[in-house]
């Protein structure tokens, strides 16, 4: 297997891990005003992701770094052409992170309400825009022969991309509701479990439509198999949620997200950013990659440090694995 293929797979794995882990983060943030009926319940919801949300964002930083080093042409064209959506994602993530840290600094209800709104919108925007961005990556964008983006913002807001945004929004909401049911006790757990099933039904319909549309744009045998697997995993997760088997439900939604992302990358390969104007402008794993020497050095770095990062993050989740409830939150 060529190193360009190895690094394409690694970028795919990093984005898959990011969407699985940050996906439930976004879901919890968006469900904060829905499932948190008072301040103590909202504090419970925030505490379910409090120890892990910032670690989950490391996957995005690593994925961006891998793209920059392994496929600099892809990185440059993507970040210039998708400048506004990616900037909005960055600003939303900053606002969300600040909100987590500052919400508890003052006791006034108005102060906490403003930061709760920042958490909500800081989760909502990325949940939609990531779907829009990845749908456009697969569909293709206007690139000239020099691989320069020559379109505008409206080119990115096409029906397929918007459906991609709705799909990731639904998947992250469902994933987040299942995670809340897995990590909480009492009424919050009951409400989250019931909401997960209701959200999941609508999400399943939208996700199947999006994956079916995806396979009409670009397809391969692997992509078809992965898409079917994603649909089955989501249905299995919802069935488990309905009978309150939260662990299996979370596994199902996580696998569904993983296979959905894998479907997009499998359908995309060997391209990394197709051109809708001229095939000569399409970026592939070959013409967008760094030199073989760079890829080789990076491969050794990844072999050494990736297991360390995975072990540390796994240990974090193990330490904070227990459920929490209102009884664990002191009254002020």
Enclosing H/E stretch for 273? strand 271-273
> From CA 169, how far away is CA 30, in angstroms rounded?
10
> From CA 182, how far away is CA 298, in angstroms rounded?
37
Q: What DSSP state is assigned to residue 332? A: -
Q: Give the end-to-end CA distance of the chain in Å, rounded to a whole number.
A: 59
| Helix count and strand count (H, E) for the chain | 13, 2
Residue 311: is its pLDDT beyond 70?
yes
Coil vs helix vs strand at 284 = strand
Q: How much is the average pLDDT of 256-274?
A: 94
pLDDT value at residue 321: 85
In sequence order, the β-bridge partners of residue 141 are 275
In sequence order, the β-bridge partners of residue 283 are 273
pLDDT tens track for 179-231: 999 999 989 999 999 999 999 999 999 999 999 999 999 888 999 999 999 99
pTM tops 0.75: yes
Residue 161: is its pLDDT beyond 80?
yes
Q: What is the DSSP string of 214-283?
A: HHHHS--HHHHHHHHHHHHHHHHHHHHHHTT-HHHHHHHHHHHHHHHHHHHHHHHTTEEE-BSS-GGG-E
Which residue has tokens 């099933």? 197
- pLDDT-based confidence at residue 332 (cuts at 50, 70, 90): low
Residue 310: is its pLDDT beyond 90?
no
CB count in 10 Å sphere of residue 271: 20
pLDDT value at residue 306: 84
Work out the percent of the chain whose per-residue pLDDT is above 70: 100
Residue 152: is its pLDDT beyond 90?
no
Provide the mean pLDDT of the chain. 91
Rg for the chain, CA atoms, rounded = 20
- pLDDT-based confidence at residue 38 (cuts at 50, 70, 90): confident
pLDDT tens track for 59-98: 999 999 999 999 999 999 999 999 999 999 999 999 999 9
pLDDT tens track for 8-26: 999 999 999 999 999 999 9
Closest CA to 69 of 307, 296, 303, 310: 296
pLDDT value at residue 298: 87
Please give the distance of CA 291 from its chain centroid, rounded to a whole number: 29
- pLDDT-based confidence at residue 131 (cuts at 50, 70, 90): very high
> From CA 195, how far away is CA 203, in angstroms rounded?
12
Phi and psi of 149, rounded to 5°?
A: -75, 125
> From CA 108, how far away is CA 110, in angstroms rounded?
5
- 320/168: higher pLDDT: 168
């Amino acid at each position: 297997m060529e190193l360009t293929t190895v690094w394409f797979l690694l970028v795919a794995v990093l984005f898959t891990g990011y969407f699985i882990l940050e996906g439930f983060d976004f879901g919890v943030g968006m469900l904060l005003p829905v499932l948190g009926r008072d301040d103590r319940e909202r504090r419970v919801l925030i505490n379910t992701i409090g120890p892990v949300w910032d670690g989950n964002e490391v996957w995005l930083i690593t994925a961006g770094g891998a793209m920059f080093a392994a496929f600099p042409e892809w990185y440059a064209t993507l970040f210039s052409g998708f400048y506004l959506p990616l900037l909005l994602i960055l600003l939303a993530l900053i606002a969300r992170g600040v909100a987590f840290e500052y919400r508890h600094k003052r006791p006034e209800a108005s102060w906490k309400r403003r930061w709760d709104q920042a958490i909500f919108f800081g989760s909502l925007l990325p949940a939609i825009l990531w779907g829009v961005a990845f749908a456009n990556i697969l569909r293709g964008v206007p690139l000239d022969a020099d691989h320069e983006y020559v379109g505008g913002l409206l080119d990115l807001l096409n029906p397929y991309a918007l459906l991609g945004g709705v799909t990731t929004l639904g998947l992250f909401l469902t994933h987040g509701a299942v995670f809340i049911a897995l990590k909480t006790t009492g009424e919050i757990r009951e409400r989250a479990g019931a909401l997960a099933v209701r959200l999941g039904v609508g999400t399943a319909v939208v996700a199947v439509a999006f994956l079916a549309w995806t396979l009409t744009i670009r397809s391969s045998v692997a992509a078809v198999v992965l898409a079917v697997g994603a649909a089955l995993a989501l249905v299995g997760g919802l069935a488990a949620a309905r009978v309150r088997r939260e662990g299996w439900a979370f596994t199902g939604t996580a696998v569904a997200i993983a296979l959905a992302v894998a479907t997009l990358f499998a359908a995309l390969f060997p391209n990394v950013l197709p051109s809708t104007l001229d095939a000569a402008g399409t970026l592939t794993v070959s013409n967008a990659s760094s030199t073989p020497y760079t890829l080789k050095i990076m491969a050794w770095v990844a072999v050494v440090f990736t297991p360390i990062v995975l072990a540390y993050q796994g240990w974090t989740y193990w330490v904070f694995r227990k459920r929490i409830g209102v009884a664990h939150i002191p009254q002020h």
